[in-house]
Amino acid sequence: MWFYEKKLQYPVRVSTCNPTLAKFLIEQYGGADGELAAALRYLNQRYTIPDKVIGLLTDIGTEEFAHLEMIATMVYKLTKDATPEQLKAAGLGDHYADHDKALFYHNAAGVPFTAAYIQAKGDPIADLYEDIAAEEKARATYQWIINMSDDPDLNDGLRFLREREIIHSQRFREAVEILKEEQGKKKIF
Amino acid sequence: MNKFLRTYHPYVSPFDPCKPILEKTYSTPPNLFMGFQPPNLPQFSPQEALRAGTLWKAFYDPWFNPFEKPKRGETS
């Protein structure tokens, strides 16, 4: 069960009307290494992983939904007052034709989200290594979006999200250490 | 330069069509070096931590667009 707190994890501020940035940001919404893929991956892996790390997957999977909500807010703010002409100029004409200004789970190139982006192998180490890789890929994606954005307010929020990827990667790495630990440790019964 | 950035120098051909980038950089964030987090690491204040995105100073590694001006007391 979840409790919903009606506020964003980090304030989202956007200083310029820039629908082109929304087109890039949607990568983190419905892309292969986006927040939706991350949340669904972690929450789904929880059932077949040792008890010790289930809580970690719950916590991080939940936080990914909070990040998804931030990305949605950013995209919405960047596009809500744009004219169809502006959207067309920003390369969002295809999106507008299909969705108006509604958000949709697809990547920056318009490819719709698919469960094939994520995996649940049932092997704890394989799954955690995939999670670590996913965090590093999301971190890199944030870097490239920040590099293309000249909006300091938006970049402030993106920097926060990138830092969270670093922390999540660290915690998954620690989860691997916890699962490795049993061996070589002297157990006293 | 940021201690979490590394550089390498790709091969440059005399026939490259674009102006070659002589030095490429990539990020090696702090989580690669820590292993299991040891106890009693220095912390940010709660207010700073909410802004930084982490409680732990050792994990703080912000990324800046090279063309972007820092704002509101941020430092790289």
Does A169 reach chain B within 8 Å, measured CB to CB? yes
- Whether residue B65 and residue A10 make contact (CB cut-off 8 A), yes or no, is no
pLDDT band at B65 (very low <50, low <70, confident <90, very high): confident
Is B74 domain-assigned?
no
Is B65 domain-assigned?
no
pLDDT band at A181 (very low <50, low <70, confident <90, very high): confident
Average pLDDT across chain A, whole number:
94
Does A88 reach chain B within 8 Å, measured CB to CB? no
Higher pLDDT, B68 or A147: A147
| A64 is known to lie in a ligand binding site | yes
Alpha-carbon distance values, A173 to A3, A55, B8, B32 (Å): 28, 15, 26, 9
Domain that holds residue B54: 5-59
Cα–Cα distance, B20 to B70 (Å, whole number): 28
Is B27 domain-assigned?
yes
Candidates A23, A18, A14; CA nearest to A95 is: A23
Question: Given a cut of 50, is residue A47 above it in pLDDT?
Answer: yes
Map residue A82 onto helix, strand or coil: coil
Does A155 reach chain B within 8 Å, measured CB to CB? yes
Contact A30, A36 (CB under 8 A): yes
Cα–Cα distance, A79 to A116 (Å, whole number): 29
Model confidence over A136-145: pLDDT tens digits?
A: 999 999 999 9
Chain B residues whose beta carbon lies within 8 Å of the beta carbon of residue A173: 31, 34-35
- The single-letter code of the amino acid at B35 is G
Chain B residues whose beta carbon lies within 8 Å of the beta carbon of residue A160: 51-53
Does A181 reach chain B within 8 Å, measured CB to CB? no
Query: What is the number of domains present in chain B?
Result: 1
Model confidence over A95-121: pLDDT tens digits?
A: 999 999 999 999 999 999 999 999 999
How many contacts (CB atoms, under 8 Å) link A and B? Answer: 74
In this prediction, residues A68-91 reach a mean pLDDT of 96
Residue A12 burial (C-beta neighbours within 10 Å; 0-12, 13-18, 19+) = buried
- Predicted local distance difference test score (pLDDT) of residue B76: 46
- Predicted local distance difference test score (pLDDT) of residue A188: 60
**Max Cα-Cα span within chain B:** 55
Does B47 reach chain A within 8 Å, measured CB to CB? no
- Predicted local distance difference test score (pLDDT) of residue B3: 87
Map residue A106 onto helix, strand or coil: strand
Is B21 domain-assigned?
yes
Chain B residues whose beta carbon lies within 8 Å of the beta carbon of residue A149: 65, 68
Question: Given a cut of 90, is residue B68 above it in pLDDT?
Answer: no
Sign of CA dihedral A65, A15, A17, A154: negative
The crossing angle, in degrees rounded to 10, of helices A124-148 and A51-79 is 20
CATH 1.20.1280.50 fits A19-181, yes or no: no
Give the gap in angstroms from C-alpha A166 to the nearest C-alpha of chain B.
6
Question: Given a cut of 60, is residue B20 above it in pLDDT?
Answer: yes
Give the gap in angstroms from C-alpha A100 to the nearest C-alpha of chain B.
31
Model confidence over A11-38: pLDDT tens digits?
A: 999 998 899 999 999 999 999 999 999 9
- Predicted local distance difference test score (pLDDT) of residue B40: 96
Cα–Cα distance, B5 to B1 (Å, whole number): 7
Domain-wise residue ranges, chain A: 19-181
- Tell the residue number behind the tokens 């120098």, with chain if given: B9
